[in-house]
Amino acid sequence: MKKLFLLTLILIALSCKNNDTEHKVAIAEPEHTIETPFVWEGANLYFLLTDRFNNGDPTNDVNFDRTETPGKLRGFEGGDLKGITQKIKEGYFTDLGINAIWMTPIVEQIHGGTDEGTGLSYGFHGYWAKDWTAIDPNFGTKADLHELVKEAHAKGIRIVLDAVINHTGPVTEKDPVWPEEWVRTDKQCSYDNYDNTISCTLVANLPDIRTERNEDVDLPPQLVAKWKAEGRYEQEVKELDAFFERTGHPRAPRFYIMKWLTDYITEFGVDGYRADTVKHTEEYVWQEFKVECDYAFSQFKKNNPDKVLDDNPFYLVGEIYNYGVSSGQYYDFGDKKVNYFNPPSFQSLINFEFKYNAKEKSYEALFAYYSEILKDELKGFGTLNYLSSHDDGSPFDAERTKPYVTANTLLLAPGTSQVYYGDESARSLVVEGTQGDATLRSFMNWGAIATEPETKAILTHWQKLGQFRAQHPAIGAGTHQMLSEAPYYFSRSYQKGDFKDKVVIGLELEKGKKVIDVSKVFQERVMLRDAYSGETATVENGTITLDTEFDVVLLEKE
């Protein structure tokens, strides 16, 4: 009986084998589940002004007697680190598919205000440093930053701070100019060549750090007096002595600032820096900064093995105003071209060209263009795309009439996406009564999110696309291929080690029934899920059929 049973099993197996051979059907084999890696080149990064996002602690809204009446949207509005942490805990960023947050500088700002011709301004934006070693109390405390990083990392969200090396804050009655050995104040930039962009002040009252200097300088007397009054002078000097002994660097201005900035890495475990005004310092400054950032990050990981998220390197992205990906790895000063990727400095640069490409090109032309550049001129590096920002006076959609197109364009494009706070909620970038870039910096429109149905619908669209992007590195870091022009479908594919990621996306489709050819991407009998509608379907004869009320399809393996 046992032999007869065994013979029967053999005959059934042979029959199945012959049947499969005869029909030649490719059946998907089961795959082992591999955790989705975080990839900076395809990250979904949220950029916010620390002071303008969420007020988590009203008791810290006024400090240093900053009580003069400023120009509209040119004073502190109450946003702080606790407010950001609150939204992290609530899951706001997770729901939006955000896996990295970039905050404007949080170091102590000048205590006084200044008028640049647009009304009295305080350093609410964070770019007017007075003391790099302290967190401005308007933004919070060191304990607040520790809590923010801890809560963000618990949700898989990286934290990127903002590094200013090339200037101090403006001079006011409360904020004296730094010594001449530290800063220049006599020449304003004309931007017509390399030297006239670097060895000069950005604007009239913004002292320029002498980043080219290699001779030793003493600490500014105002910092010495401040630290002594705060009871931490000896500790700061001790740490500086150790830094200069370890590195062998001269006690030149730029290295002091690098030490102060990298302390935020070793102490708090931040994951990256966005470097401000990159083209206004010598390029070797950023190569030196990268070395110190990498060292600090390695020390943090060594000292805090339980807090290490993964083996990604420290993220360094540069702001070179008016740089675009069409330039490849170079920025042209007119009389000189500089490569800011090699020798090693930046992993990525902010792409000021993206908003123009988005206006001029169709989805397919845009996506194909960026996929090609990132696999060619920028291979091994990345780009940070945005459509609105804090100092770009010509955003893609200032009046927010195209929030759905903005989301599709930004979140589905190859490269890293930079969501500017309020992009996802159609926060208006046209504010009556403001001057200059203040119109871009209104407080986050939480009220509209809570009460207005249209705002909620817009946010839902951003959430669906953002979560899909965060779950699929292929979207930002993968290879693009158009599957059909009308209706418009395309695929993205990405592989890193044993991890493989493939998606199919459709835009501007007919609502209702959709027959989708996925034969070039997915195997027969694979179950697919449309992440936009939640509907599922199985691949049969190379296609799936969906019936949804939406004009967007986001296909992934179920």
Let me know if 29 is a catalytic residue: no
| Burial class of 177 by CB neighbour count within 10 A (0 to 12, 13 to 18, 19+) | middle
Nearest to 184 by CA among 213, 158, 145: 213
Of these residues, 77, 283, 319, 397, which one is catalytic?
319
Nearest to 549 by CA among 508, 506, 510: 510
**Contact between residue 348 and residue 338 where contact means Cβ atoms under 8 Å apart:** no
List own/partner pairs for 484-490 with CB under 8 A and 24 or more apart.
484/517, 485/364, 487/514, 488/363, 488/364, 489/516, 489/517, 489/553, 490/364, 490/367
Give 512's DSSP letter: E
**Contact between residue 417 and residue 45 where contact means Cβ atoms under 8 Å apart:** yes
Q: C-alpha 303: how far from its chain's center?
A: 26
Give 297's DSSP letter: H
Strand ranges in 247-311 using DSSP code E only, listed in sequence order: 272-275
CA 270 – CA 100 distance, rounded (Å): 11
Residue that has been written with the tokens 């996506």 in this structure: 367
Let me know if 319 is a catalytic residue: yes
- Residues contacting 247, CB < 8 A, separation 6+: 255, 292
**Contact between residue 76 and residue 51 where contact means Cβ atoms under 8 Å apart:** yes
Question: Residue 4: how many CB atoms within 10 A of its CB?
Answer: 7
Q: Given the DSSP bridges, would you call strands 499-507 and 479-484 parallel, antiparallel or unpaired?
A: unpaired
Of these residues, 276, 283, 392, 556, which one is catalytic?
276
First to last CA, the chain: 43
Q: What residues are annotated to the active site? A: 276, 319
